[in-house]
Structure 1
């Protein structure tokens, strides 16, 4: 089963299970976004648009997701919030935007979901301007953490919804363009983390 098919099936119930659990972490991350009207913000894997009601007014927003059924829910939220946001169907591993097009990139619950998360991170870096901010919220193992159950089930649950064995530091090591500004444990005894990154000036 492809992820697009899985999330088409999950779309009607996704918010019910995910929204209450992740609300506070999303709010804390999105509060860090720059507020200037000239700011361009990309939300990669925007899904059903859980971030939309939490976005500060001012910046120009673009959201992209692989699944039309999820994007339709995001459109409804944008309409309800009267938020002007461009919503595109596309693959996070090959973003359809030019290099250095955005001042900030939001990666909420996408790096552990997408196949080849290193490509998702690399593409996000590509479209981020030097000095730009990247906001990550997801579940990650720590380097050297055993977590045998999470590692055991990851190949199976990864086919349906999300991987449970992604080590963020391994992804970060594949790009030299990012520096860590902050790394805050949150939810599930720190399995979930809020990570703020900055793209180094070239």
Structure 2
């Protein structure tokens, strides 16, 4: 089953599963958006759970691979300068340096190739721009046997459980790590802020 198909099936239940568990972490992560009005990419916008927490000053482009998820984001974006775009976060349909910031909430551990996704973010965010990440990651050298055993099934249905953020960052010298904080589940979920050099 492809992620596009599985998330079509998940879309009606997605909010009920995630809204309460992730709301506080989303708000804390989004508080780091720049105050100056700009163009912000919401990569993997899903049903738009971030949209109610976004400052109104910016122009937002929400990208998702799944039409059912994007359609659900539209009402949440009604009071923002928000446009929904169907597309793949691993092959972004945008010009180089066309965004002032990017938000990657629960997407790097979902896409099949997170390194490709982060490379594309490095391409489309302008130098000096920020990238806000909220997701679940293993730490380098972390055993996490149960997560690794469940990963082959879970990555086909909804999400990867084996992504090591430090390995992704090592391959992207365009980024400087500004902060990395535990968010949920004893630090399995993290809030990370990068600066595009």
Which TM-score tier does this pair reach, normalised by the shorter chain?
over 0.9
TM-superposed deviation, 1:36 = 2.2
2: CA distance between counterparts of 1:106 and 1:63? 9
Among 152, 156, 160, the alignment partner of 1:155 is 152
1: CA distance between counterparts of 2:24 and 2:140? 26
**Partner residue of 1:124?**
121
1: CA distance between counterparts of 2:129 and 2:135? 20
1:186-201 → structure 2 map (5 Å cutoff): 186-200=183-197
1: CA distance between counterparts of 2:34 and 2:56? 10
Unaligned runs of 5+ in 1: none
TM-superposed deviation, 1:84 = 2.0
Unaligned runs of 5+ in 2: none
Does the Cα contact within 8 Å between 1:34 and 1:59 map onto a contact in 2? no
1:34 aligns with 2:34: yes
TM-superposed deviation, 1:98 = 0.3
2: CA distance between counterparts of 1:3 and 1:40? 28
Does the Cα contact within 8 Å between 1:35 and 1:57 map onto a contact in 2? no
1: CA distance between counterparts of 2:173 and 2:36? 28
| 1:58-95 CA-partner distances (Å, limit 9, x unpaired) | 0111110000000000012122xx22201100000100
**Partner residue of 2:74?**
75
Instruction: Give aligned pairs, total.
Output: 197
Q: TM-score by structure 2 length? A: 0.98
Q: Which SS does the other structure have where 1:53 is aligned?
A: helix
Q: TM-score by structure 1 length? A: 0.96
Does the Cα contact within 8 Å between 2:42 and 2:104 map onto a contact in 1? yes
**Partner residue of 1:13?**
13
1: CA distance between counterparts of 2:117 and 2:43? 9
1: CA distance between counterparts of 2:171 and 2:179? 19
| RMSD of equivalent CA atoms | 0.7
TM-superposed deviation, 1:152 = 0.9
**Partner residue of 1:48?**
47
